[in-house]
Chains A and B, each alone.
Chain A
Amino acid sequence: MTPMRTLATAGRVLLQIRNDPRTIALLLVVPSLLIGLVAWIFDETEVFATIGPAMLALFPFIVMFLVTSISTLRERRSGTLERLLSMPLGRGDFILGYTLAFGILAVVQTAVAVAYATLVCGLEIEGSVWMLFVVAIADALLGTSLGLLASAFARTEFQVVQFMPALVFPQILLGGIFLPRDQLPEVLETIGDWLPLSHAIDALTAVASGDEDSSYILLRILFIGWWILAAIIIGSLTLRRRTQ
């Protein structure tokens, strides 16, 4: 593994996205449109103030999960991964390259979504905006690492897209957006407490309300970090230089 090859990979991934303006437009505009829609639905109620921050947590996670799982599956299927692994590229270069590229993309995506949510939809962020970005990046990296893992267990694009509802929807349902986690049945509450997205939602809600101190938020980011690390380690094990 070398920094030069990791950076080259990250640069290549970003260049691929830059060559595809429609994807860029979708990445940047869709979250804002949906946030705007939710704000409109709950116009003149207090609901948007609680759901808004959670939505900021969802987008980087879901989008990066999809983008990563499909692009790494494409690398596996098109033969480019086989070519790269016959070259002096470390597995870490490949994974960190992707993580870095999508982390940067997540920052831009979050910046647009936050600007739209606060300036246009009137969402109030009481806490540190910087902290909000840190959570969003952690979220995006979580999506990237889980997407990388999912692509290893899918043979086709159809299969990999099915992993999205399988891995993502339960986390949304149990994360406390629909019903606060402490009101869930006990078993579901325990499961929800161990899922990474729950902590991302908690952290962003805390940032928005400004109720908790930064150690509460950092603890949650740390928890997400362990999930990212675990997914990356398992994901790199699935990235074999030699295959059948």
Chain B
Amino acid sequence: MMNNAIETRGLRIYRGRTTVIDGLDLTVPGGAIVGLLGPSGSGKTTLMRAVVGVQILAGGSVNVFGQSAGSASLRHRVGYMTQRASIYDDLSVRQNLRYFARVQGAPRSDVERVIDRTDLSGQADRLARSLSGGQASRVSLAAAMLGSPDLLVLDEPTVGLDPVLRGDLWAIFRRLAEEGTTLLVSSHVMDEATRCDRLLLMREGDLIADTTPEQLLTTTGADTAEDAFLRIIETDDAGPNHSIGGRGGRRASRSGRLSPTRLLAVGKGRVQRKKGPQ
């Protein structure tokens, strides 16, 4: 049990009047890079907010390292990188990190360590406002790395970056995982799936597959992760019996959310698109 970094049981989350997540059971093993993939609006950010303990839950539980998510002792062990850079524009890189280090209770030397690890030495004294998007998100990552947390929750860290920068970031993630950190990384770029140790595919607030990159490709028979994702969605829409992945079968319990006519319409759209001259 204690080997699991994150466990959710019957998690339910509403945002406003809409149900974002409805009865999610999830287990994330420790010491690995776990990719949380799915289209935008599938509930990835909401789930991550629940894991770091800043999201109001409507029901169920989220445990991180065996403790309730968001409890005071976990705030030292969990690093969170939000989707936007979440740093102070009018402070330099070093000033930003010094402040976050003091809040985190990390030693001062940690600032230079994370600057070095995220390759920001050349920009350390520049105002965050003047950084490029890629540099700003590396500062945000550096801030999350302060105090060497056991779990890093990274919300779309590579969004909008060119392939080289994305490769650099994934190299940093890999090194952190090798040092024993658990990383929960969300992305809507399916190609990034192959860089993870485990994959959680989300759609409309539900987990539609809990698998590994190799397993994903072999079970679906697809060539690319993106193609595999599309195939899973199709089987998922077709009915619970065809689901792929350990947990897909539970969708039957909440099929009431999609009316039969809507399901039919979605299915028709797919068929037509497949036959079209693409």
Taking Cβ atoms with an 8 Å cutoff, the residues of A that contact B are 4-5, 8-9, 11-12, 15-16, 19-20, 78-80, 82-89, 93, 241-244
Q: Tell which of A80, A82, A89, A241 has the most Cβ of chain B within 10 Å.
A: A80
**Would you call A244 and B75 a contact (CB within 8 A)?**
no
Instruction: Specify which chain A residues have a CB less than 8 angstroms from the CB of B41 in the assembled complex.
Output: none
Q: Which residues of B contact A242 (CB under 8 A)?
A: 53-56, 70
- What number of A-B contacts does a CB cutoff of 8 Å give? 82
Whether, in the assembled complex, B277 has its beta carbon less than 8 Å from a beta carbon of chain A, the answer is no
- Are A88 and B72 in contact, CB atoms less than 8 angstroms apart? yes
B4 at the interface (CB under 8 A from A): no
Tell whether, in the assembled complex, residue A80 and residue B53 are in contact, meaning their CB atoms are under 8 Å apart: no
**A86 vs B55: C-alpha distance in the bound complex, in angstroms?**
10
Q: Known contacts being A241-B70, A242-B55, is A15 close to B95, with CB within 8 Å?
A: yes
Q: Count the B residues whose beta carbon is within 8 Å of the partner chain — how many?
A: 34
A83:B86 contact, CB within 8 angstroms: yes
Q: Which of A8, A78, A79, A243 has the most CB of B within 10 A?
A: A79
Asked if A83 contacts B143 (CB within 8 A), the reply is: yes
- The one of B14, B16, B88, B127 that contacts A80, using a Cβ cutoff of 8 Å: B88
Task: Report the minimal beta-carbon distance from A105 to chain B, rounded to whole angstroms.
Answer: 15
Asked whether, in the complex, the Cβ of A19 is within 8 Å of the Cβ of B127, the reply is yes
A82 touches B102 (CB 8 A): no
Q: By CB atoms of chain B within 10 A, which of A19, A20, A87 has the most?
A: A87
The A interface is mostly helix, strand or loop, or mixed, namely: helix
Q: Does A16 contact B70, Cβ atoms closer than 8 Å?
A: no
Known: A4-B102, A16-B91. 17 other contacts (CB 8 A): A8-B102, A16-B88, A19-B92, A19-B127, A20-B90, A78-B89, A79-B86, A80-B86, A82-B82, A83-B82, A86-B52, A86-B80, A88-B76, A88-B104, A88-B105, A243-B55, A244-B56
Which of B80, B82, B91, B100 is the one whose CB lies under 8 Å from A15? B91
B87 within 8 A of A: yes
- Report chain A residues within 8 Å CB of B86: 78-80, 82-83
A87: which of B83, B104, B127 is its contact (CB, 8 Å)?
B104
CB-CB contacts below 8 Å: B58-93 with A? 70, 72, 75-76, 78, 80, 82-92
Contacts of B84 in A (CB 8 A): 78-79
Measured between alpha carbons, how far is A78 from B102 in the docked complex, in Å? 20
B99 contacts which chain A residues (CB < 8 A)? 8-9, 11-12, 15
Complex-state Cα separation, A19 to B102, whole angstroms? 20
Complex formed: what's the CA distance from A241 to B68 in Å?
Answer: 14
Q: How far is the CB of B261 from the nearest CB of chain A, in Å? A: 31
CB contacts (< 8 Å) of A89 on chain B: these are: 103
Q: A83-B80, A244-B16 are in contact. Are A19 and B103 (CB under 8 A)?
A: no
A-B contact pairs, 7 of them (CB 8 A): A8-B99, A8-B103, A19-B127, A87-B103, A87-B104, A88-B103, A243-B56
Residue pair B54, A79 in contact (C-beta under 8 Å): no
A-chain residues with CB within 8 Å of residue B87 when the two chains form the complex = 80
B9 interfacial contact with A, CB 8 Å: no
Nearest chain B CB to A240 CB, angstrom units: 8
Partner of B103, one of A15, A16, A82, A84: A84
